[in-house]
Amino acid sequence: MAFVTRHFIRSMASSSTASAKKIVIKHVTVIGGGLMGSGIAQVAAATGHTVVLVDQTENILAKSKKAIEESLRRVAKKKFAEDLKAGDEFMAKTLSSISTSTDAASVVHSMDLVVEAIVEKLEAKNELFKRLDKFAAEHTIFASNTSSLQITSLANATTRQDRFAGLHFFNPVPVMKLVEVIKTPMTSQKTFESLMDFSKTLGKQPISCKDTPGFIVNYLLLPYLLEAIRLYERGHASKEDIDTGMKLGAGYPMGPFELLDFIGLDSMKFIINGEASTSMHDWSLPNKEPYDRVSGGSNPIGGSASENLALGRRKAGRSDLGRN
């Protein structure tokens, strides 16, 4: 009898889970009008979503809207090379789907999803989520675009831990196909599946990861960059030969130093210090100073690049291998 009861309970639980309807995300608020936030807003609007982009001032939002328009122009030129009229219509439709606001609390009440892409500081994000939690609708999912902070810590600032997850896009958002969907122990399956579906509607390839430091890509990428820097600083190989070796020997499309040059000094500061602003006024695009500016004696941050990378990982609670 006990076996039959347990079987019945499991069956009911399974049926209940299966019947829980995923949220079809149509209305999105993006908090933070910087490089990442404006990119997320652009791809969401371009795929039929209604988007509200939020930042602190109208001046920042004007710059964000201009950046989106310039990016859309490049997309339209490539996508509609044979049909300029269709390209103009695509731009107009996408831009009409994006509105802006300086008051996040006043717009989240009617949203299906709120994506945060502000300064990479735990206190600032927690304060934002705690405040918005009071105004957002019951069904609204909260997501953070953080690449380094623990999603669970952010979710705990709200009362909707089951409707909270990580949604980590890659730069530049309109170009990069990958999205990491981060599920905490409290994230419901309904929320997780809704975000996976949303990512696919954006034309992205979502991958899932538990709430571990660095998630998948940065967990593996940072040690790789660190070891390349160490190899060069020790005089064992030139930057050019390291890049060539990784491209021709390992099949990478770009060597580690080419990647560092592409990322630029701002992102290197993020890697080293574990914090950087994604707001347009602090994170203007992009300050691509040569790699030598962040290596050895000319490093404007001080110390060798490998020492600073290792220090940054320890400050973030991670070893050089990205473990807790």
Catalytic residues: 147, 168, 180, 218
Q: Give how far Cα 111 sits from Cα of 49, 135, 152, 236, Å.
A: 11, 10, 22, 54
CB atoms closer than 10 angstroms to residue 318: 22
The torsion angles phi and psi of 209, rounded to 5 degrees, stand at -150, 150
Beta bridge partners of 141: 113
Q: Give how far Cα 58 sits from Cα of 55, 84, 101, 168, Å.
A: 8, 31, 8, 26
Quickly list DSSP for 238-302: -HHHHHHHHHHTT--SS-HHHHHHHH-HHHHHHHHHS----STTTS-S-----GGGGSGGG-TTS
Instruction: Please state whether 139 falls in left (phi above 0), alpha (psi between -120 and 50) or beta.
Output: alpha
